[in-house]
Amino acid sequence: MNRIDAAFARLNGKKQKAFIPYIAAGVPGRDETVQIALSLEKLGADILELGYPFSDPMADGVVNQLAANKALELGVDDAAYLDMVRKIRAKSQMPIIVFSYLNPIYRLGLRQFAGRAKAAGADGFLLVDMPAEEADEIVAICRDLDMRFIFLAAPTTTPARLQRILEMGSGFLYYISRTGITGERDSFQADFETKLSAVKKAAGMPVVVGFGLSTAEQVRKVCSLCDGAVVGSALVRRTLADKPFNEMLGDIQAVASALIAPTKETWGN
């Protein structure tokens, strides 16, 4: 069984929800990325989204853009990225998702890079700007490799397009909590609960929510409506801090612990 599927099966059996952190590979450093990933798993993270840097991450807010630029400045390329995947996998069975944009992966060759990612220990892909209408090739490649391809759905996604995404995607559906870009927010959009409930009802796979989650209360709300929460900017922001790594890691752990706690409660839905 693919590790992503196994993670949700395990959580379902325990009546818990998934906590899925996003971190930018190579920030603040390559060894540090591995340490952060393993630390997050120890705290209770269930699936890792590991960001492959791109120079024009148009769906990301300031924090994640800064992290992508920092990774590129530090020389994170395909070899460095896959080396980090291998080092995490050597000490962990936590599912790893290659999180990026189409351009850098297409440049490397979809099948070639997917095969290398699989060999390194990755379990799936999420390419933010890959539309379902053009995803046949990468979806087929992932099926051949027993990897999962995760699609995004937004509050503006039409029922017809959502159905197509659900038919093509695998692993889980990533529902964007709001229109716009990534980044910490104080509240959800007015129609968030209604739209998420409709998406969850239509989906035949786990649904998780990301974009803007930064408090335990937000994570708890999401867990009451779907299968898990994705947190990125609240963690990534701390990887950009100008402080010794041990202090940085302590800050990340403190924030992550508070955000993970609601997912490990017992949920009836």
The letter for the amino acid at 59 is A
Annotation says 60 is catalytic: yes
Active-site entry in 49, 134, 184, 193? 49
> Taking a C-beta distance cutoff of 8 angstroms, is the pair 151, 174 a contact?
yes
Tell me which long-range contacts 214-217 makes (C-beta under 8 A, separation of at least 24). 214/184, 214/185, 214/259, 215/259, 216/258, 216/259, 216/261, 216/262
Residues 6+ apart with CB under 8 A from 160: none
Annotation says 247 is catalytic: no
Active-site entry in 5, 46, 60, 123? 60
Which sequence positions are flagged as catalytic?
Answer: 49, 60
